Structure 1
Amino acid sequence: MSFFGELYLRSTLPFLSEETTAKEVAYLARRFEALEVPGPVVDLGCGHGRHAARLNARGPLAGRILGLELDALSLQERLPGFPAVRADLRSLPFRTGSLAGAYAWYSTLFVFSDEEHVALLREVARCLRPGGLLVLHTVPYERLASQPEAAFSTRLPDGSLLEERSRFDAVRGRDEATRRLTMPDGRVLSGQYAIRYYPLADLTRLLESTGFSVSWVHGGLEEERPSDTSTDLIVGAGPRLHQTSETVNFRSGSSP
């Protein structure tokens, strides 16, 4: 079965607390507060809309949020209060220069191949207006490299048993995992996923090669500088006026 569907939704929602969501929404509101470009701001991979619903209701992005999600179940169960379209991140259904901004949380943009990541980011750059802003959230490469293997088993509030094993390949920069969810009625959902984590230098080169210029980098929601103990890597980037067609090879997990 597809990992980013019912399995992901049922196994992830219990961990998304009200406090966590409020902090992430406040961070996004602050970072987009100075955005002067008119037009919509897209939540890339909006899921059930925990960020989009709040940002669209109040604050600097009120009335400007548009969700984009491929999973039909997530869209069906999304929170009310914001419009959304069903589409693939790799082929955005927006006109060139029609968006003021975009954001993506929890490594949403990096679940494909390196080649697809290049194409995807070029698509985002194509859609953004001059002066627009892309905010993307991921996990520091170094954090995964320091603990390359992980496993856990826990009971969710509804009684489901969630089990997962993962292994991070530091050379390829890919974290590969298997997740299994046993429901109270005995139904079992299982699937595999892989997420690409780039060292900051490589991520910067990737963004620059796809038409962006990095504006700032944070190591957490308090806008602190990245450090060896950071649990987050959040990057803000804007489209360059003159994009490049440079091709970058990201086969190695570390910067040259």
Structure 2
Amino acid sequence: MYLRSTLPFLSAEMTQREVAYLERAFQGLALPGPIVDLGCGHGRHAAPLNTRGALAGRILGLELDALSLRERLPGFPVVRADLRSLPFRPGSLAGAYAWYSTLFVFSDEEHVALLREVARSLRPGGLLVLHTAPRERLESEPQASFSGRLPDGSHLEEESRFDAVRGRDEATRRLTLPDGRVLSGRYGIRYYRLEELTQLLESTGFSVEWIHGGLEGEPPSESSLDLIVGARVRPA
């Protein structure tokens, strides 16, 4: 359902801008080894990054969803695995990135274990880039809804509510396909305050290197729609 209901909103222009940001973020990474796309989906970042530019030949995808893997774009290797149990040897990766809060759909305890797994898999000095949304954005609009027709004729309905006490955005999504079949489900995403996120990273083996509020590398502000953090694995 996520693939079918989200893909229509991911424009080629936005993907190009995000790919350009990731290229800039990793272009100076001198460490040997692959850079893994954690939760690569159908590969809209991994495919272009691995086939051209400074990161060509270095990108590896990791995804659990079978449909996304079957429909993934060509041009990059991929492994099917769970984010909470990475199939990589210690210190075997040079870098990793995760987009759209991919790392924060579990419990707080699992987020700690997950980030420790990423730190274990990266070489000392390895770079993690993660993207999420500023918590303040959710706090300013704690309730949201959407109802509309998608390009393939499907009808999408979604209701979400941000719980400021738990820091979680809880949502229900219902997708009615053109043939009448209905897909529905619930999901939650954890949004951390910046100081909480910094503490979480530093407690799991990272040192925060930069914080951006957008794809041009601008600092966070009250109007930021993005929160992008770059963090390095500390030497053991």
Please indicate the TM-score interval, normalised by the length of the shorter structure. Answer: over 0.9
Q: Which amino acid aligns with 2:191?
A: Y
SS at match of 1:89: coil
Is there any run of 5+ residues in structure 2 with no aligned partner, and where? none
CA contact (8 A) 2:174 2:183 kept: yes
- 1:182 equivalent to 2:176? Answer yes
Q: Which amino acid aligns with 2:37?
A: D
RMSD of the alignment, in Å? Answer: 0.5
- 1:69 equivalent to 2:63? Answer yes
- 1:220 equivalent to 2:218? Answer no
1:235-250 alignment, distance < 5 Å = 235-242=229-236
SS at match of 1:75: helix
- 1:120 equivalent to 2:114? Answer yes
Offset at residue 60 of structure 1 (A) = 1.5
CA contact (8 A) 2:125 2:235 kept: no
- 1:48 equivalent to 2:38? Answer no
Task: Please point out which of 144, 164, 167 is paired with 1:173.
Answer: 167
Offset at residue 134 of structure 1 (A) = 0.3
SS at match of 2:5: helix
- 1:135 equivalent to 2:133? Answer no
Partner of 2:201: 207
- Percent identity between the aligned chains? 81
Please give the alpha-carbon distance, in whole angstroms, between the structure 1 residues aligned to 2:55 and 2:39: 17
Offset at residue 131 of structure 1 (A) = 1.9
Q: Which amino acid aligns with 1:192?
A: R
CA contact (8 A) 2:38 2:62 kept: yes
Partner of 2:186: 192
Partner of 1:148: 142
Offset at residue 171 of structure 1 (A) = 1.1
Q: Which amino acid aligns with 2:51?
A: A
Is there any run of 5+ residues in structure 1 with no aligned partner, and where? 1-6, 243-256
TM-score using structure 1 length: 0.92
Please give the alpha-carbon distance, in whole angstroms, between the structure 1 residues aligned to 2:123 and 2:52: 23
Partner of 1:94: 88
Task: Please point out which of 130, 148, 155 is paired with 1:161.
Answer: 155
Task: Please point out which of 10, 25, 32 is paired with 1:16.
Answer: 10
SS at match of 1:82: coil
